[in-house]
Chains A and B, each alone.
Chain A
Amino acid sequence: MATDTGEGSGLVFHPMDQFIVKPLFGDGPVHWYTITNVTLWMALGVLGIIALLVLGTSRRAVVPSRSQSVGELAYGFIYKMVEDVAGKDGLKYFPYIMTLFMFIVFANFLGLIPGSYTTTSHIAVTAVLALAVFLTVTVIGFVKNGAAFLELFWVKEAPLPLRPVLALIEVISYFVRPVSHSIRLAGNMMAGHAVLKVFAGFAQVAAISPIAILAVTAIYGLEVLVAFIQAYVFTILTCVYLKDALHPHH
């Protein structure tokens, strides 16, 4: 998927340029510590989270203000998700899951601001998130259950001859988890934003620009939905993996 440059017709598409990481100050190379647009938009996400969950709840009102009730809604939403999916003993890990959810949801929505940079559209970011979940959950599984955690792969309900085969499949699917977990999020974000840019490029042609703008609007609406749904999916899958680690018996 290289940059489309229709130079002959004068149409110029740069749908992937929005994903370029560039230093905020100067033009130098991107070192690991360089302050880049990644830093900016992650920091904005942190500020957004602080604004919602810290400043919004600062009055500690029994009858909540609007921002406080949104914060409480987010809290209750994730708390209930962890409780329902991972069980009561999963609530210990609620702050981690809340951190993941708040980061992803803010990154996704901030990415919808025109001209912004979507941190979660990068596989580097989502892979770290997914690997962190994968490693944490695996460690929790072994610490909590010891070798019994391996029963996750040994399907007791199946007939004995089938079990080794199923075990192989289970092991493979277990190790594929972080891959699908990360690519699902990054892929959704990247594809949506790229499509938005492509349609915005079509808007340069006067004949189809009304349709293109309409399409951009429609896809934008869809992307708003996707931004939340992908954060939700990432979080609930984390809860499911956590449940497997806490209760490996089928």
Chain B
Amino acid sequence: MATETPGSASTCVGPDGSAIGLPQLCFDWFPNQIFWLIVTLIVIYFVLTRVALPRIAAVLSERAGTISNDLAAAEDLKAKAAEAEKAYEKALADARAEAQKIISAAKAEMQEEVDAAMARADSEIAEKVEQSQQAIAEIRAGALESIREVAQDTAGAVLEVMGTEAEQAEIERAVAARMEG
């Protein structure tokens, strides 16, 4: 295809410097073009495989790694936030429960105090009632005794008026029998 004999410029280029025929079909120029093309391709190939492509591949994979790392970190932070929220909720619930406990304890204590006071008051009242009843019983007993004496005296006086002599013991017994009835 390509003739090795270097053609002079005149075979494809006219004396006025313009092309004769189609420059693409000037076989004199083929070896030159092919030689420099091969040199160029080899240079590009080495530049690409030695430097450019590994570097770009590294950058791209590093970026992919960075992105997935960032996503993982975001996921992590999200989990942490959820955890913190849970802890907060738990603390809140604990505090509520504690407050509830304190309230009920206080209530129980107060109830106890109230109960104690009530009991004390009750016992005091019962004592007073006892004393009062005792006093009433004494008074009643006193009154009964007085009635008996009055009745005996009255009965003695009545008998005396009627002129009947009666023994003191007889009168006493009769009065007691009447009072029993």
Contacts and interface: CB of A to CB of B under 8 A. Distances in A.
A142 B38 CA distance: 25
A125 B34 CA distance: 6
Given A54-B47, A95-B49, A125 B59 contact: no
A54 B44 CA distance: 11
Contacts of A64: 59
State which size class the interface on B falls in: 35 or more
A102 B29 contact: no
Contact of B34 (A72, A94, A124, A186): A124
Interface in B161-181: none
A160 interface: no
Given A3-B19, A17-B17, A27-B9, A121 B53 contact: no
A128 B66 contact: no
Nearest to B33: A124
B58 interface: yes
Given A42-B36, A60-B58, A128-B34, A29 B24 contact: no
A53 interface: yes
Contact of B53 (A33, A34, A38, A75): A75
B51 A54 contact: yes
B50 to A, nearest CB: 10
Interface string A15-55: 01101111000011111111010110011011001100110
Nearest to A75: B56
B135 interface: no
Interface string A53-66: 11001001110100
A95 B62 contact: no
Contact of A38 (B32, B48, B52, B58): B32
9 contacts: A32-B31, A43-B40, A57-B59, A62-B59, A99-B44, A122-B29, A123-B24, A124-B24, A128-B37
Interface of A: 1-3, 5, 14, 16-17, 19-22, 27-34, 36, 38-39, 42-43, 45-46, 49-50, 53-54, 57, 60-62, 64, 68, 71-72, 75-76, 94-96, 98-100, 102-103, 119, 121-125, 128-129, 186, 190
Given A95-B45, A121-B24, A124-B30, 16 more contacts: A3-B20, A14-B19, A17-B18, A22-B9, A30-B6, A33-B35, A49-B48, A57-B55, A57-B59, A71-B56, A95-B49, A102-B44, A124-B24, A125-B37, A128-B34, A190-B24
